[in-house]
Amino acid sequence: MTEITSLSLFELIKNIKEKKISSNEVAKSFIDRSEKSKKLNVYVTENFENCLKLSKEFDNKPNFDLKLPGIPIAVKDLFCTNEVRTTAGSNILNNFVPSYESTVTQNIWNEGGILLGKLNCDEFAMGSSNETSFFGNVQNPIAKDLVPGGSSGGSSSAIAANLTPVTIGTDTGGSIRQPASFTGTVGLKPTYGSCSRYGIVAFASSLDQAGPMSKDVKDSSILLEVISSFDNKDSTSIDFKRNNYSSDLTRNIKGIKIGIPKEYRVDGMPGEIESLWKKGIEYAKDCGAEIIDISLPHTSYALPTYYIVAPAEASSNLARYDGVKYGLRSSGESLIDMYEKTRSEGFGEEVKRRIMIGTYVLSSGYYDAYYLKAQKVRQLIKQDFDQAYNKVDAILTPSTPSSAFKIGEKSNDPVSMYLNDIFTVPVNLAGLPGISIPAGTDKNNYPLGLQIIGKPFDEQTVLNIAYSMEEKINYKNNITDWWME
């Protein structure tokens, strides 16, 4: 039998249900491998001992009707976990231990999942390389000193390195799909309103959405089925009929119409991205899909729009970290002095940059020119997609304009860093579901991903296309465990 840690979630569940392996064995395997993988720096907080204890409890009293029977799962450190430290990758929450559980993680534990640990991420999910984390950068298991993408970089690295069977990330502008693309893994951002935001440390409330990250498409469908739920604790949660995503999963996509937006051919896009996209189109055709050229005319405005809306919301969302109630408090001469010292010491450079941008665009005299204009453009971007969906069922694009870059390569150039999100950001602005699947490699053998964007609440079609193309692409990561030497 192959190593337990290289099994997919689907295979693990099958083996556990057939009593071929125990939950405790699974937990031990992932913990052993995680212990040997400290160099990757994926964990901010380990929950190994408790995980072993809970897996034993599961084995003593197993319930095989659950969807994640005794499966250990590590999650991004943006999800609040009861009694387990939750930092959001920030010094300001370095000592913060919630007394409550996020709805999404609670859904996982309710179905038998067991918390393995909290995974590193960019500070408050602001970043595309996991370099803004207070807890240090994360290594991409693909190659040494390569970024794993971000902000869910700990999650993508942990999946690619087989340190957790599946994981969940959050995606505000591409934070699930871009790291998935950089690590040769699968990442799905569901429709805004599918997964509850309750208990997730907020970055930009109108864009944030939790989603599954996994080795393959089927695993993402299993996890989505568990985490997607209507929640009356989140006013933006939507009560729609959710599919049984894993059992409804099919490779039969014959006749499905897939749009190719011409505006995604951006200037300066590397040739290998262009050719990957072309190959993707051929795979889609091979699967029986009909390819249709479409136009999303406001695409070029998406990135500037995003970098107004997201920082504006963030500047307000992060105001609560003031040293008064919880988290870091630096001593000061007065209330204002305490605020300034706490926030200066508690937040990193990128977070401060975005708070300043956000404060600026909301300021009186600038609000109309920036925030209000951005909201209007956001509507236009949404309308682009609405119109396209009159003609097609889904849209195929590259996930990122490049493959993973070296640690430090872009950390002093925020604009070039922001450009990473150019293909993923429009999807958040329009609130749509999008998945990144591995589709090939660049000249360095670094993975490249393709993105499939769906209609609102039509995660099933997105998953079906991905599932079908995945089989044709037949991508395999080449991981050498170089960090263990």
Partner 1 sequence: MDGIMSKNNSEYLIERNDNVYEVVIGLEVHAQVTSNSKLFSSSSTKFGAEPNTQVSLVDAAFPGMLPVINEYCIKQAIKTGIGLKAKINNKSVFDRKNYFYADLPQGYQISQYKYPIVGEGNVILDMPEGQKQVGIERLHLEQDAGKSIHDVDPSNTLVDLNRSGVALMEIVSKPDLRSPDEVNAYIKKLRSIMRYLGTCDGNMQEGSLRADVNVSVRIKGSTDLGTRCEIKNVNSIKFMQMAIIYEANRQVDLIEEGEEINQETRLFDTKKNETRSMRSKEDAHDYRYFPDPDLLPLEVTDEFIDHLKSEIPELPDDKKKRFIDEFKVSPYEATILVSDIDTAKYFEEVVAKMGKNRDMKLAVNWITGELFAVLNNKNIEINQSPISAKNLAKLINLIKNGTISGKIAKTIFELMLDGDLDPQIIVEEKGLKQQSDPKALEALIDKIINENREKAIEYKQGKEKLFGFFVGQAMKASGGKANPQLINEILKKKL
Which residues are known to be catalytic?
76, 151, 175
Asked if 371 touches partner 1 (CB under 8 A), the answer is yes
> What are residue 434's DSSP bridge partners?
189, 453
Asked if 313 touches partner 1 (CB under 8 A), the answer is yes
Alpha-carbon span 114 to 76, nearest angstrom = 14
Name which of 224, 227, 222 is nearest 196 in CA terms: 227
Beta strands at 257-261 and 290-294: parallel, antiparallel or unpaired: parallel
Asked if 326 touches partner 1 (CB under 8 A), the answer is yes
Number of residues that bind partner 1 (CB under 8 A): 43
Residue placing its CB nearer to partner 1 in the complex, 335 or 484: 335
Check: CB of residue 35 under 8 Å from CB of residue 192: no
Least spacing, CB of residue 236 vs partner 1, in Å: 6
Residue placing its CB nearer to partner 1 in the complex, 102 or 175: 102
Alpha-carbon span 361 to 478, nearest angstrom = 44
End-to-end CA distance of the chain: 24
Alpha-carbon span 34 to 5, nearest angstrom = 10
Residue placing its CB nearer to partner 1 in the complex, 160 or 202: 202
3-class SS of residue 260:
strand
Least spacing, CB of residue 337 vs partner 1, in Å: 12
Name which of 134, 127, 138, 41 is nearest 96 in CA terms: 134
Name which of 132, 82, 96 is nearest 314 in CA terms: 132
Check: CB of residue 196 under 8 Å from CB of residue 202: no
Sign of the CA dihedral with 68 first, then 69, 70, and 71 last? negative
Alpha-carbon span 38 to 151, nearest angstrom = 19
> Per-residue x/- mask for partner 1, residues 190 to 209, rule CB under 8 A?
-------xxxxxx-xxx---
3-class SS of residue 223:
helix
Least spacing, CB of residue 131 vs partner 1, in Å: 22
Residue placing its CB nearer to partner 1 in the complex, 69 or 98: 98
DSSP code per residue over 143-174: STTB---SSSHHHHHHHHTTSSS-EEEEESSS
> Per-residue x/- mask for partner 1, residues 80 to 119, rule CB under 8 A?
x-----x-x----x--x-xxx-x-----------------
Question: String of b and e for 211-234 (b: at least 16 CB within 10 Å)?
Answer: bbbbbbbbbbbbbbbbbbbebeeb
Residue placing its CB nearer to partner 1 in the complex, 234 or 409: 234
Q: Which of residues 410-439 bind partner 1 (CB under 8 A)?
A: none
Least spacing, CB of residue 315 vs partner 1, in Å: 8
Alpha-carbon span 383 to 310, nearest angstrom = 20
Residue placing its CB nearer to partner 1 in the complex, 197 or 218: 197
Residue placing its CB nearer to partner 1 in the complex, 328 or 435: 328
Give the one residue of 110, 254, 288, 367 binding partner 1; rule: CB under 8 A. 367
> Per-residue x/- mask for partner 1, residues 36 to 75, rule CB under 8 A?
----------------------------------------
Interacting span for partner 1 (CB under 8 A) from 17-25, 257-265, 315-323, 476-484: 315-323
Residue placing its CB nearer to partner 1 in the complex, 73 or 312: 312
Check: CB of residue 156 under 8 Å from CB of residue 183: yes
Name which of 347, 290, 335, 287 is nearest 471 in CA terms: 287
**Amino acid identity for residue 390 in this structure:** N
Q: Which residues fall within 8 angstroms of residue 458, CB to CB, at 6 or more apart?
A: 191, 393, 394, 433
Least spacing, CB of residue 465 vs partner 1, in Å: 30
Give the one residue of 110, 244, 252, 363 binding partner 1; rule: CB under 8 A. 363
Interacting span for partner 1 (CB under 8 A) from 159-167, 276-284, 361-369, 472-480: 361-369
Give the one residue of 324, 356, 369, 484 binding partner 1; rule: CB under 8 A. 324
Burial class (CB in 10 A: 0-12, 13-18, 19+), 415: exposed
From the DSSP assignment, how many helices (H) and strands (E) are in the chain?
15, 11
Asked if 236 touches partner 1 (CB under 8 A), the answer is yes
Give the one residue of 312, 394, 430, 452 binding partner 1; rule: CB under 8 A. 312
Least spacing, CB of residue 322 vs partner 1, in Å: 6
Least spacing, CB of residue 324 vs partner 1, in Å: 5
Alpha-carbon span 412 to 345, nearest angstrom = 20
Q: What angle do CA 67, 69, 71 make, to 5 degrees?
A: 110
Least spacing, CB of residue 106 vs partner 1, in Å: 12
Least spacing, CB of residue 316 vs partner 1, in Å: 5
Least spacing, CB of residue 403 vs partner 1, in Å: 33
Interacting span for partner 1 (CB under 8 A) from 211-219, 300-308, 346-354, 355-363: 355-363
> What are residue 437's DSSP bridge partners?
450
Residue placing its CB nearer to partner 1 in the complex, 52 or 328: 328
Asked if 319 touches partner 1 (CB under 8 A), the answer is yes
Residue placing its CB nearer to partner 1 in the complex, 262 or 320: 320
Binding footprint of partner 1 on the chain (CB under 8 A): 80, 86, 88, 93, 96, 98-100, 102, 197-202, 204-206, 232-236, 312-313, 315-316, 318-320, 322, 324-326, 335-336, 339, 359, 362-364, 367, 371
